[in-house]
């Protein structure tokens, strides 16, 4: 078995990649509140039909016991075995501008070797900007725009879009480390950490995808078609608002979140909209336990459907 972490076909396909184009990173792994990375990956592949340039070797990078692949049993035999994939692909936006997509599972093993390989690709293709996103569940209301923490090397994007700038230690993801390495090398990189309502963390929240796409467009100059996502957002808000409206306690919880959020935005200080006067971070139970339970009851899966594990 080869110890190479990517496919041999790369040698033939690399010539198809133009130089100086953006790289969009969508690695499923540590934090995917609101399903932002899952939605982003699906949106890019469904809308722009990327051409695979390089496929990473899952046998070397994936812990199969941690991420069990799916296989279908059909009456008396197994069919449709679908192992996880991690690939670099080439796509074109609405105006035909090319960009790269690094998508799939976050590696479980060989992080340094994987990130060194991505850095090699960034250098080889003279990537103009690398952008990535993830989302954090926070006690903020769904009735207000999603805010974010922006990191990386683009001071203009950070100044325009980053509303929460904490100093903290956190569990790292491969995307975090990739940004860290790119920044230290003087490469242009932007990370968007979205602050998603905690009570919608287990849903696919269309507003999270819209916010990520808007950030990517601002950072790269690419143009993505978002009409269908905006339509999905309107339908999603209507459904959630209807559910919340059935409970006065739930409605009161949302109003409390709105008051806290609006006070911060109006104040425009560097203090987080999520912390109290004493600097403590309120828990979900403190702010919206009733709302969370209510929505959880509404989104219980059909007993006949197989539930999917969280990322």
Assessment of whether the complete model's pTM goes beyond 0.85: no
Count of CB atoms situated within 10 Å of the CB of 178: 24
Residues of the chain with pLDDT under 50: 1, 270-273, 275, 277-282, 284, 286-288, 290, 294, 298, 301-311
Between CA 139 and CA 279 the distance in angstroms is 15
Q: What is the pLDDT of residue 290?
A: 46
For 71-95, what is each residue's pLDDT tens digit? 999 999 999 888 889 999 999 999 9
Sign, Cα dihedral of 247, 249, 255, 261: negative
d(CA 22, CA 27): 16
Q: What is the pLDDT of residue 107?
A: 95
pLDDT at residue 179, rounded to an integer: 98
pLDDT digits (tens, 9 = 90+) for 120-159: 999 999 999 999 999 999 989 999 999 999 999 999 999 9
- Return d(Cα 13, Cα 8) in angstroms, integer: 10
SS3 39: helix
**Distance (Å, rounded) from C-alpha 188 to C-alpha 154?**
7
- Domains, the chain, ordered by start: 10-224 (3.40.50.10900)
Contacts for 207 with CB less than 8 Å, ≥ 6 apart: 34, 142, 145, 146, 233, 236
Q: What is the reported pLDDT for 294? A: 47
């Amino acid at each position: 078995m080869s110890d190479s972490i990517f496919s041999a076909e790369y040698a033939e396909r690399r010539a198809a990649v133009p130089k100086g184009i953006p790289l969009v990173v969508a690695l499923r792994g540590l934090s995917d509140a609101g399903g932002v990375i899952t939605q982003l990956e699906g949106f890019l592949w469904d809308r722009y039909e990327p051409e695979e340039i390089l496929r990473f070797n899952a046998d070397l990078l994936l812990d199969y016991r941690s991420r069990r692949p799916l296989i279908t049993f059909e009456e008396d035999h197994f069919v449709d075995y679908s192992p996880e994939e991690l690939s670099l692909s080439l796509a074109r936006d609405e105006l035909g501008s090319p960009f790269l997509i690094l998508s799939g599972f976050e590696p479980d093993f060989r992080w340094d070797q994987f990130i060194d390989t991505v850095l090699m690709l960034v250098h080889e293709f003279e990537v103009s900007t690398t952008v990535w996103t993830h989302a954090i569940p926070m006690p903020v209301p769904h009735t207000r725009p999603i805010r974010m923490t922006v990191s990386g090397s683009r001071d203009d994007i950070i100044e325009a879009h980053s509303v929460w700038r904490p100093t903290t230690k956190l569990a790292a993801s491969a995307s975090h480390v990739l940004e860290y390495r790119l920044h230290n090398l003087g490469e242009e990189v932007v990370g968007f950490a979205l602050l998603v309502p905690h009570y919608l963390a287990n849903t696919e929240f269309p507003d999270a995808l819209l916010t990520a796409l808007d950030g990517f467009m601002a950072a790269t100059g690419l143009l993505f078609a978002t009409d269908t996502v905006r339509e999905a957002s309107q339908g999603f808000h209507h459904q959630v608002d209807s559910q919340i409206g059935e409970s006065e306690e739930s409605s009161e919880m949302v109003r409390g979140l709105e008051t806290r959020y609006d006070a911060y935005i109006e104040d425009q200080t560097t203090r987080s909209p999520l912390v109290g006067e004493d600097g403590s971070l309120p828990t979900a139970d403190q702010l919206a336990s009733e709302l969370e339970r209510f929505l959880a009851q509404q989104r219980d899966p059909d007993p006949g459907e197989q539930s999917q594990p969280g990322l």
